Amino acid sequence: MPPIKGLSVVRARKIFTILLITLLCLSKTAIAQTRFANHDSTIRSIAFDQRGRIWVASFGRGLWLISETDITRFYDEKAQQPYPMINNLLFDGDYLWVATAGGGCIRINSEFDRIEPVEQHKGFEKLHAIARTASGTIIIGSVGSGSAYLKDNKWVPVKDSQPVNLAWVNALVDWQNRLWLGTSTGLYATGSDISEWQPQYEQLNRGVNHLAKDNDRLLIATTRNGLYEKKPGKEPTKVAAIDGMIHFILATDRQTLVIGNKAIWRITDGKISHLENPVANAKCAAVDSKNRFFIGTTDGKIYVADNETDFLLKYFFSDNGLEENKE
């Protein structure tokens, strides 16, 4: 009998070990699923196609498409794209460029709603900035590898080896026949040939979060020192009424919205004021062809205003994905 008991103990130990491993695996799976379900749903970018549909980029929940009839997630199962963490969207005609933080920059033909192949480049998987130059070239800015441009349907680095101060790119814009680059260390510029980035203005030797053209001036959003403006042929100057970290600038014909961690400011006819009914946790903004203003937030909400100031909750992320607020 003792051998049988010993065998039973061994079997019991094996069964216990198997159960323990199974429980640990299930626990890890559950945690992973929970983390994915509750992943950061920050709205990072909003864009509009020529059919008036709304494309929403989230940092964790992927890319979403809002039409007049429904809301769907855009995802190609075969290509496993786009990567769910998305930092920026850019429309160039019918093409939507999607800058992701892990899957490079992909191109979607919005006429047919399909991904068209673009050859990626090693080191440019994690992207933050994207822009179109006056000559039509698409240029991207990465998190750690600098900048690259599209040539012959593939991404080509501006330089084979880019210095550390140019590695973390937050913003790109074409202004006054030059390309401007905002990085974690400051402001840089290059000619239309996209060759060598040169540092600009010692007073801006600090992180630049965003860049935007506003009529004849360049607006420069910093990571902690508010907003600067630069006019042609002049040095940048601080916009005194706007301070703190600035996340985003939306410049339109009717008004300019400046989204910061302290407030949302409106610039209208040169006058600066706070948004009367501020949107909490604002992160980005956009305006459509109907002059409706959209604000995306860090907690996965989109507010819309028909009159420039009264923003109402229109869409939000739930456990089921992006939904319309029907209340």
Q: Which pLDDT value is given to residue 13?
A: 53
User: What is the side-by-side strand order in the sheet with 54-58?
Assistant: 43-48, 54-58, 63-66, 71-74
Residues 29 and 49 in one domain: no
Question: What range defines the domain where residue 77 resides?
Answer: 40-324
Strand blocks (E) in 75-153: 86-92, 95-100, 105-109, 114-116, 127-132, 138-142, 147-151
Q: Give the whole-angstrom CA distance, residue 204 versus residue 225.
A: 9
Residue with tokens 């209208």: 268
Q: Which pLDDT value is given to residue 308?
A: 83
Alpha-carbon dihedral 174, 217, 308, 47, rounded to 10 degrees: 0
Q: Which pLDDT value is given to residue 167?
A: 87
Residue with tokens 């070990």: 17
CATH label of the domain that carries residue 51: 2.130.10.10
Tell me if 86 sits within 8 A of 57, measured CB to CB.
yes
Residues 90 and 33 in one domain: no
Residues 27 and 148 in one domain: no
Residues 9 and 48 in one domain: no
Tell me if 288 sits within 8 A of 308, measured CB to CB.
no
Which pTM value belongs to this model? 0.86
Residues 61 and 29 in one domain: no
* Total domain count, the chain: 2
Residues 125 and 9 in one domain: no
User: For each successive 10 residues of the chain (327 residues), what is the average pLDDT?
Assistant: 44 48 37 41 97 97 96 95 97 98 97 96 96 95 94 93 86 95 92 85 82 95 95 94 96 95 94 92 96 97 93 96 94
Residue type, 206: R
Terminal CA-to-CA distance of the chain, rounded, Å? 72
Q: Which pLDDT value is given to residue 3?
A: 44
Residues 45 and 34 in one domain: no
Q: How many residues does the chain have?
A: 327
Tell me if 83 sits within 8 A of 100, measured CB to CB.
yes
Q: Which pLDDT value is given to residue 62?
A: 97
Residues 32 and 47 in one domain: no
- Give the tokens for residue 81: 């794209």
Residues 156 and 11 in one domain: no
Q: Is the dihedral of CA 200, 202, 203, 209 positive or negative?
A: positive
Residues 54 and 22 in one domain: no
Residue with tokens 């549909």: 53
Residues 2 and 54 in one domain: no
Residues 11 and 109 in one domain: no
Distances (CA, A) of 112 to 70, 95, 115, 197, 305: 17, 10, 9, 37, 30
